[in-house]
């Protein structure tokens, strides 16, 4: 992936959690001439973390200082299942268009529970997570 990032002029990071923020920061630091955009459907970065607004404000300032465009509260029209390495223009749910040479997925997890389903579908919940007992 490193060579593809190096060759790209524009990079889209999908996900405003720790991994997405780290990826955006690393790319922007290593390649300051690249246009880096981070998109997250939540209205704040690290939305699932118990952090202060002061911390989040400082994080946003640091990202702006690195010229990372942060788009919050908006989503891709359909969920990505893997990184994309072809130039695309992506229209977000809001109608905003983003041109990106590569798209890096840093959001959510997709459990691989197909094998367990073949044993017994009741072993998997509605989100495709494997049901476990308290002791795992």
Q: Following DSSP, what letter does each residue of 78-119 receive, concatenated? A: S---S-B-S-EEEE-TTS-EEEESEEEE-S------HHHHHH
pTM over 0.95: no
What pLDDT sits at residue 111? Answer: 74
Q: Read off the pLDDT of residues 31-60 as tens digits, 9 standing for 90 and up.
A: 999 999 999 999 999 998 899 999 999 999
List the chain residues with pLDDT less than 70.
Answer: 109-110
What pLDDT sits at residue 73? Answer: 96
Q: Would you kindly state where each structural domain of the chain is located, as residue ranges?
A: 2-105, 111-136
To the question of domain 2-105 being in CATH 3.40.50.2300, the answer is: no
């Amino acid at each position: 992936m490193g060579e593809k990032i190096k060759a790209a002029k524009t990079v889209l990071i999908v996900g405003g959690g720790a991994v997405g923020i780290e990826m955006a920061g690393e790319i922007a630091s290593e390649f300051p001439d690249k246009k880096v955009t981070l998109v997250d459907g939540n209205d704040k970065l690290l939305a699932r973390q118990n952090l202060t607004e002061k911390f989040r404000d400082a994080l946003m300032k640091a990202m702006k200082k690195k010229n990372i465009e942060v788009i919050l509260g908006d989503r891709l029209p359909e969920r990505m299942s893997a990184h994309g390495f072809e130039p695309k223009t992506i229209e977000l749910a809001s109608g905003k268009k983003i041109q990106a040479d590569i798209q890096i997925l840093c959001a959510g997890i997709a459990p691989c529970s197909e094998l367990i389903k073949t044993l017994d579908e009741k072993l998997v919940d509605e989100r495709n997570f494997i049901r476990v007992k308290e002791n795992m």
